[in-house]
Amino acid sequence: MKLILLGPPGAGKGTQAKMLTERFDIPQVSTGDILRAAVKEGTPMGVKAKSFMDAGGLVPDEVVVGIVHERLQKDDCVKGFILDGFPRTVPQADALKQTLAALDKNLDKVLSLEVDTEALIGRLTGRRTCRECGRGFHVTFDVPEVEGKCDSCAGELVQRDDDQEETIRKRLEVYGQQTMPLVDYYRGEGLLATVDGMLDIDVVQAEILSALRAS
Ligand code: ADP
Ligand code: AMP
């Protein structure tokens, strides 16, 4: 199963991707997670990416395209993968097409999660993320069993630097300008399924599974 989860910041891509990885035993490939790990380690790529991420902008296409090109060649992607947060621009989508053609792979589906802007802001300001494994929670909608601790690994839950309202608004603007055109791009390729991301987390997962069965 080779999937893309498309949608604005806060749509629930990471939440749903984690549930799908368990169900299908395929990896979640999140460019945001990979970039945050590089920032934390202080690699040259991380140093370069940090200023773009802090400002709520996009990291240059060539950087993320390189990350995904390398990642999709790893052994754990043989059965499939879930792309989360990539592609985010038309040039990234074109580059992905080339990478997949070179690997003789085809996408099965692009799932577009649709959520109202005001709900996105509430989700992102209330998001808490595990410092260790990156799993996301929410202060109201997805509360951890023990306050401040990750249910998966007991890591500390923190607020991401870019989950401040001003940066969130910038990220949503960037989404509208640079990423939204991908909805039509993949509709044109006959790969798009839209999913109502306003529903409860488990209901969204059920809708995704039903869209995958229909394909
Ligand atoms: P994305 O990866 O698309 O940026 P996340 O999966 O991190 O989004 O979700 C953003 C926030 O919204 C998280 O705090 C998550 O717990 C919460 N969330 C995700 N899906 C839902 C949902 N269907 N209803 C309410 N809150 C949700
Ligand atoms: P995310 O975790 O998907 O919300 O991504 C966090 C930040 O990482 C984004 O706001 C961008 O700065 C950067 N980023 C993640 N994925 C990409 C991508 N595909 N293209 C460009 N920048 C990205």
- The pLDDT of residue 215 is 72
Tell whether the model's pLDDT for residue 125 goes beyond 80. yes
| Residue from 15, 29, 139 whose mutation best tests the ligand 1 pocket (most atoms within 8 A of CB) | 15
The stretch 66-95 carries a mean pLDDT of 97
Q: What is the dihedral of CA 157, 65, 99, 177, to 10 degrees?
A: 90
For the entire predicted model, the pTM comes to 0.97
- The pLDDT of residue 68 is 98
Q: Cβ distance 212 to 1 under 8 Å?
A: yes
Q: How far is the CA of 103 from the centre of ligand 1 (A)?
A: 32
Give tens-digit pLDDT for 5-30.
999 999 999 999 999 999 999 999 99
Give percent of the chain above pLDDT 70: 100
R_g over Cα of the chain: 16
Ligand 2 atom 6 nearest Cα: 32
Distance CA 8, CA 176 (A): 8
Which element (helix H / strand E) includes 211? helix 201-213
Name the maximum alpha-carbon separation found in the chain: 46
Tell whether the model's pLDDT for residue 134 goes beyond 90. no
Give percent of the chain above pLDDT 90: 96
The average confidence (pLDDT) of the chain is: 96
Which element (helix H / strand E) includes 23? helix 13-24
Which of 22, 10, 148, 26 lies closest to 78, judged by CA? 26
Q: Tell me the fold of 2-26+79-115+174-213.
A: Rossmann fold (3.40.50)
Cβ of 7 below 6 Å from ligand 1: yes
Tell whether the model's pLDDT for residue 79 goes beyond 80. yes
Give tens-digit pLDDT for 141-177.
999 999 999 999 999 999 999 999 999 999 999 999 9
Residue type, 132: E
